[in-house]
C-alpha cells in the first residue's frame, strides 16, 4: 500500500477539524485514487477554511467536524466574497470569482459527506447550500488550420524537433490529458492497430485511438532515439528529456509554448487546449456527445456539452442543410 504522505500538504495539529481533514485527504488518495493535484487542491481549500475557523470564528484545535454549523459555512463564504487584500496595494481588494467560491464550497460539501459516512459528524452543514451562478466560458481551442500550421512549423532535423512534433500529434490525435501523456511508456503504443489503453483520473482505464500521422511521427522520433542510444525498452518513457528521463507536465507546457510562438499562432495554447481542439473538431465533424465523452474519459455527459459550440459559418451551413424552410424551393 502506498503512503498517504505521497502528496504532503501542511495540516497543523493546532487547527480545528485537523483529524477529520487528514482522514479525508488520505481517503481521496488511497481509496478514490484522485490525482496529486486534486488531493492537494482539496487539502489547500480545507486548510484555508480551518484557518478561518480558528482566526475568525475562534474555534479551538480540539473542535471536531460535529461542531460546524451552516452559519460557519455561510460566514466563511461571505468572508471570501468580500475579496482579499492586494499585496501590492493593501487598500485595494481583489475580487474572488464565482468559480473559485463554488470550488471552495464543493470541497466543503465533499468533506462533510465523508464525515457523515464515517460517523465524524451527525449532520451536514452544507446540505442546504448551493453555489453561485457563473458564466460558462468556452474552452480555448485551435482551428484545424492552426493545428496543421503548428505541427508543420516544427523542424525535424534533430531529435528534439521529432519528439516535439510527435508530442503535439499525439495530444491532438488522441485527446488524452497531458498527465496521461507523460505517463506513457514505450510498451503502451501499439506496433499494429490504432488503439491503446491509458490510465486516467481516479485510475480509470479507457481505450483511445491514434491516427496514422501521429503513429508515423512517433515512429520517426523513436527510430532516431534508438540510433542515438537512448533506452527503448517497453518500460522506458515514450517521451524523454535530453537526459533520458521522463518529461514532466510543465516541460510539455514549455515545449508547446515555444513551438506555438515560433509558429506565430494567435493564441498560445496549453496542452489542454489541444484536448479541447480534439473534442471541438470531433463534434464539428458530426461525432455525438456520448462518443466524445467516452474518448475524453469524462464521467458525466454534461461535462462535454461545452463542445456543442460551433463557428458561425458552420452553424449557418448546418442550418441551411437541416431546416425545411431555410432555402427557397
Residue 298 annotated to the active site: yes
Contact 279, 175 (CB under 8 A): yes
Residue 44 annotated to the active site: no
The C-alpha cell at 42 is: 482539496
- Burial degree of 136 (CB within 10 A; 0-12, 13-18, 19+): exposed
Sign of dihedral through CA atoms 289, 290, 296, 300? positive
Cα–Cα distance for residue pair 165/256, rounded to 1 Å? 10
Give me the catalytic one of 34, 165, 215, 275.
Answer: 275
Give me the catalytic one of 272, 281, 318, 329.
Answer: 272
- Burial degree of 302 (CB within 10 A; 0-12, 13-18, 19+): exposed
Cα–Cα distance for residue pair 71/59, rounded to 1 Å? 13
Give me the catalytic one of 40, 67, 149, 298.
Answer: 298
Give me the catalytic one of 42, 76, 221, 307.
Answer: 307
Residue 275 annotated to the active site: yes
Q: CA-based diameter of the chain, in Å?
A: 78
DSSP string across 189-207: S-SSSSEEEEE-GGG-EEE
Give me the catalytic one of 27, 54, 165, 177.
Answer: 177
Residue 201 annotated to the active site: yes
Give me the catalytic one of 23, 149, 201, 246.
Answer: 201
Instruction: Point out the residues that are catalytic.
Output: 177, 201, 272, 275, 298, 307
Amino acid at each position: 500500500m502506498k503512503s498517504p504522505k505521497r502528496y504532503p500538504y501542511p495540516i497543523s495539529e493546532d487547527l480545528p477539524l485537523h483529524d477529520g481533514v487528514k482522514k479525508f485527504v488520505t481517503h481521496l488518495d488511497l481509496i478514490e485514487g484522485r490525482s496529486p493535484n486534486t488531493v492537494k487542491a482539496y487539502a489547500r481549500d480545507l486548510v484555508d477554511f480551518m484557518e478561518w475557523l480558528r482566526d475568525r470564528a475562534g474555534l479551538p484545535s480540539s473542535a471536531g467536524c460535529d461542531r460546524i454549523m451552516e452559519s460557519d459555512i455561510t460566514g466563511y463564504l461571505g468572508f471570501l466574497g468580500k475579496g482579499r487584500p492586494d499585496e501590492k496595494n493593501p487598500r485595494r481588494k481583489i475580487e474572488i470569482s464565482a468559480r473559485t467560491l463554488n470550488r471552495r464550497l464543493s470541497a466543503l460539501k465533499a468533506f462533510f459527506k465523508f464525515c457523515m459516512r464515517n460517523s465524524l459528524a451527525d449532520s451536514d452543514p452544507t446540505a442546504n447550500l448551493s453555489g453561485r451562478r457563473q458564466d460558462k466560458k468556452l474552452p480555448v481551442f485551435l482551428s484545424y488550420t492552426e493545428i496543421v500550421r503548428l505541427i508543420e512549423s516544427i523542424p525535424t532535423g534533430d531529435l528534439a524537433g521529432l519528439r516535439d512534433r510527435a508530442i503535439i500529434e499525439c495530444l491532438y490525435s488522441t485527446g488524452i490529458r497531458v498527465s496521461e501523456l507523460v505517463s506513457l511508456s514505450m510498451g503502451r503504443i501499439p506496433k499494429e492497430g490504432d488503439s491503446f489503453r491509458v490510465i486516467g483520473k481516479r485510475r480509470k482505464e479507457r481505450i483511445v485511438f491514434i491516427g496514422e500521422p501521429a503513429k508515423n511521427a512517433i515512429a520517426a522520433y523513436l527510430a532516431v532515439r534508438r540510433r542515438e542510444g537512448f533506452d527503448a525498452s517497453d518500460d522506458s518513457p515514450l517521451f524523454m528529456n535530453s537526459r533520458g528521463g521522463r518529461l514532466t507536465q510543465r516541460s510539455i507546457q514549455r515545449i508547446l509554448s515555444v513551438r506555438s510562438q515560433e509558429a506565430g499562432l494567435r493564441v498560445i495554447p496549453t496542452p489542454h487546449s489541444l484536448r479541447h481542439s480534439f473534442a471541438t473538431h470531433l463534434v464539428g465533424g458530426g461525432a455525438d456527445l456520448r462518443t466524445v465523452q467516452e474518448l475524453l474519459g469524462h464521467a458525466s455527459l454534461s461535462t462535454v456539452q461545452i463542445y456543442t459550440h460551433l463557428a458561425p459559418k458552420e452553424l449557418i451551413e448546418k442550418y441551411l442543410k437541416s431546416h425545411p424552410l431555410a432555402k427557397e424551393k
